[in-house]
Structure 1
């Protein structure tokens, strides 16, 4: 979520998936949704030229910015090193150990995620939900559709099931291409993910759930009977009120959780 500086013009790089946000109304809406507080510890992924950083860093205790593009480091340091709580990390967000950033207070993670890494990065961050208070991301609208999807839709699948098992998911605003420079060829949207109480998350059950769902959605057009052959029997599916001839996209989150937990008990 980035904004061009009058003194410095950085050309967006395709290999980093850069699209700099310049629409002040959208930036204001995002900051309003985040509502930074004085004791917050914010982690911003991909600050770019600092449009969102500028609106957050004065109001939080600490802001760790993770930026992969080395050419942006000088600009970010010149703009924000005056703030005692600003810390810049030149590293890949996909390879970052977010526990190393954690200093006791839950992390609030924000970012304009490059479209090519958004799904793997979100799945990686799900591994840290015990130390994350919430996440606000600008994403390709299609990815937000998948995160917020419900059964009986083409968007319902592995990403939405994992997200909704671990978090409360809320679509905040839709963002048109012209809000960015350069303008992407796709629509974007901002989503808020709020992790559920980590003490109530069963990691073993989560592992079973993810493995089961991955197998069930391996070939979306096939029935559960075919995709889960040798893994779950017709009798087991029927025990949980699931038609073996149904497709994976028709099964609710609650049914997936019950099935992944229940098949261990047969």
Structure 2
């Protein structure tokens, strides 16, 4: 049975909320975990031990932070809500390997935070119950900033997790899939019921694990252009690749020029974006990059 002293129980969470007269802010996507077993599963899947450094985003009142502190070497928790800082300083007072940083992760200098709190050769992971309304911007920042992190294990909305871990020819597969899988190997490790949150969210949740690749699976001439081509290919999902690219290159390339490029690389312009593999998108991007 979970220790009743842990933060992640309904009783203890209610006690903390009442003590501080804390009211949830819907605008910040605050849903606190109240099940220690789920937290144990997150830590098990992340493979954390006392040598690991962990960055947590949105610690809330410290339910996951506490469990991370028990298992990890160092924990740095970034919290945007000023009202939660004194609560966290109280609930985590006994854990001397935890540092609470009052910052918006989207504006934070994460490289500076890492160099301040972690040792140079330390294995660093991101583990978090992310606010669902800004999951994608947070993850894309983490991936595109080339941070010295090995793995990201996050609780996110099930639908978004499915998009990030999708394969071609499926409804979930799209530009977000390609963006995430360019940098990482994505795997949904478990589903999480609504009942383990307070308050309960309106959506189902999943734990997504992203393992950083040593290098991307494809070679592209220009990363920004590659992602532009991917987004353009999914701009109108029902439209063919040729039609989406015609819209993208309007005023730059003629329809004939677009058709010629597609023929040269042997990609059928009547296909839709969701049928292309990441390798085919790289081929597409590189071919058009040489044309413009």
| TM-score, length basis structure 1 | 0.91
The answer as to 2:61 corresponding to 1:49 is yes
CA distance in structure 2 between the partners assigned to 1:113 and 1:128 by the alignment: 18
Q: How far, CA to CA, are the matches of 2:112 and 2:216 in structure 1?
A: 21
2:124 to 99, 107, 110: 107
SS at match of 1:70: coil
Match of 2:201 among 184, 193, 207: 184
Superposition RMSD on alpha carbons, in Å?
Answer: 2.1
Q: Which residue of 1 aligns with 2:156?
A: 139
Q: Is the 8 A contact 1:240 1:255 kept in 2?
A: no
Distance change >3 Å, CA 203–CA 84, structure 1 → 2: farther
Residue 221 (structure 1) aligns with: 238
Q: Please give the alpha-carbon distance, in whole angstroms, between the structure 1 residues aligned to 2:269 and 2:215.
A: 32
Determine whether 1:28 maps to 2:40. Answer: yes
1:170 matches 2:187: yes
The alignment partner of 2:154 has SS state of: strand
Residues 1:26 and 1:242: Cα distance change in structure 2 (over 3 Å): same
How far off its partner does 1:206 sit?
A: 2.3
Cα distance in 2 for partners of 1:202, 1:215 equals 19
1:244 to 266, 269, 273: 269
Q: CA deviation at 1:222?
A: 1.3
Q: What are the ranges of 5 or more consecutive residues in structure 2 without an aligned counterpart?
A: 1-6
* Within-5 A mapping of 1:63-82: 63-82=75-94
Report the 3-state secondary structure (helix = DSSP H, G, I; strand = E; otherwise coil) of the residue aligned with 2:83: helix
Which ranges in structure 1 are unaligned for 5 or more consecutive residues? none
Pairing of 1:185-200 with structure 2 (within 5 A): 185-198=202-215
CA deviations on 1:143-180 (whole Å, 9 max, x unpaired) are 00100111112211111001111101110110111111
1:124 to 121, 127, 141: 141
Once residues 100 and 203 of structure 1 are traced to their aligned partners in structure 2, the CA distance between those partners, rounded to angstroms, is: 29
Structure 2 residue 8 is matched with structure 1 residue 8: no
Select the residue among 78, 85, 89 that pairs with 2:101: 89
Question: Bigger radius of gyration, 1 or 2?
Answer: 2
Q: Report how many aligned residue pairs link the two structures.
A: 265
- Return 100-109 or 184-193, whichever deviates more: 100-109
Relative to 1, partners in 2 of residues 1:203 and 1:114: Cα closer, same or farther, differing over 3 Å? farther
Q: Tell me, yes or no, if the aligned pair for 2:220 and 2:282 is still in contact at 8 Å.
A: no
Q: Alpha-carbon deviations, 1:160-216, whole Å to 9, x = none?
A: 001111101110110111111111111000000011004888685322210111111
User: TM-score scaled to structure 2, two decimals?
Assistant: 0.84
Q: CA deviation at 1:128?
A: 2.8
CA distance, structure 1, for counterparts of residue 208 and residue 286 of structure 2: 29
Q: 1:244 to 1:124 in 2, by over 3 A?
A: same
Structure 2 CA distance, aligned partners of 1:52 and 1:255? Answer: 40
